[in-house]
Amino acid sequence: MIKTIKKVSIIGIGNLGTQIAEWAAFYGYQVTIFDVKQEGLKDFVETAYKKIQQKGASGNIHIKDSLNEAVKEADLIIEAIPEKLELKRNVFSQIDKAAPSHAIIATNSSSIPVSMLEEAVERKDKVLNIHFYKLPAFPMADIARGTKTSDQTFEIGKEWIESIEITPLVLKKQCLGFVFNRVWRAIKKECLKIWAGGYAELETVDKAWEIFTKNPIAPFKFMDIIGLDVVYDIEMMYYNESKDPTDKPPKKFEEKVKRGELGVKSSKGFYDYTK
């Protein structure tokens, strides 16, 4: 643990928020969580405690029923709510009003540079992108500054990431998609085009990936794990930024998301998980 951060709040306890909360608690941080959907949070905490105890540690995760309560004593707040710019701006603003003045506010966004959120807060020197990848599979996190983030904030953020045994991927300047997500984005975009254009079956693409990289987590399988709604929102972020028509996610993909085929979480995505 580092001296400057003891209490960490996670806002948005979905796919990634659960993973970050459990991971930070395992490393001894006092974690407070808040989600607009309260159901399931107790079950999450119980399961997380069991997993943490099996690994020989004790966890400390508190559920709060309001955002204000969740952040009022925090040293570091990580927002992991859906990839919607206005929603994130609103939540950043709420956190800024309720959190102690020394607290750092970070976004786990997969594509939004924190410079696009900093207008929503007064403490522009204390904002960061801390973007986790799936845990425990990929123990790395992008870290990036806003336009006014101080060196001190950046160093504390980096030290905190290292303190939980995650490799920081340092951005020298703001970049949509950060370090590895930008690479992954290029792969994902081309895979979606091959599938939507009817050039090859998605299983063929995944098989080629498995043979070429020796990695069983192939692109379509991975998109199903991430959640196709999340993937769609991220693709729209890139499109809205560039306005390049080739960046727009394929219609066939949009229709799939609208049908509620969201991947593993809805039991159907590119693959069928009902069995």
Ligand X SMILES: NC(=O)c1ccc[n+]([C@@H]2O[C@H](COP(=O)([O-])OP(=O)(O)OC[C@H]3O[C@@H](n4cnc5c(N)ncnc54)[C@H](O)[C@@H]3O)[C@@H](O)[C@H]2O)c1
Of 31, 71, 81, 104, which lies in the binding site for ligand X, with binding defined by CB under 6 A? 81
Backbone φ and ψ for 197, nearest 5 degrees, come out as -80, -5
The yes or no reply on residue 21 touching ligand X (CB under 6 A) is no
Nearest approach in angstroms of CB 79 to ligand X is 8
What stretch of H or E contains 168? strand 167-170
Quick one: which H or E segment has residue 63? strand 61-63
Shortest spacing between CB 209 and ligand X, in angstroms = 18
Candidates 97-105, 143-151, 189-197, 222-230: pick the segment binding ligand X (CB under 6 A).
222-230
Paired tokens of 107:
């976004």
Q: Per rule CB under 6 A, is residue 16 in the interface with ligand X?
A: yes
C-alpha distances in angstroms, 7 versus 17, 36, 40, 63? 15, 21, 22, 13
Does residue 11 bind ligand X (CB under 6 A)? Answer: yes
Contact between 260 and ligand X by CB under 6 A: the answer reads no
Within 10 Å of residue 1's Cβ, how many Cβ atoms? 13
> By CB under 6 A, what part of segment 120-139 binds ligand X?
131-132, 134
Please choose, from the candidates 259, 251, 195, the residue with its C-alpha nearest in 3D space to the C-alpha of residue 223: 195
113 prior amide bond cis, ω within 30: no
Q: Which of residues 82, 100, 197, 260 is near ligand X by CB under 6 A? A: 82
Of the candidate residues 14, 28, 139, 250, the single one contacting ligand X (CB under 6 A): 14
The residue within the footprint of ligand X, chosen from 8, 9, 10, 12 (CB under 6 A), is 12
User: Is residue 109 near ligand X by the rule CB under 6 A?
Assistant: yes
* Nearer to ligand X (CB atom), residue 80 or residue 121: 80
Question: 163: part of which helix (H) or strand (E)?
Answer: helix 151-163
Among 48, 80, 105, 117, binds ligand X (CB under 6 A): 80
Q: Contact between 230 and ligand X (CB under 6 A)? A: yes
Joined tokens for residue 97: 């009003």
**Number of neighbours of residue 11 by Cβ within 10 angstroms:** 27
Q: How far apart are CA 173 and CA 170, in angstroms?
A: 9
**Contacting residues toward ligand X, per CB under 6 A:** 11-17, 34-37, 80-83, 91, 108-110, 131-132, 134, 226-227, 230, 234
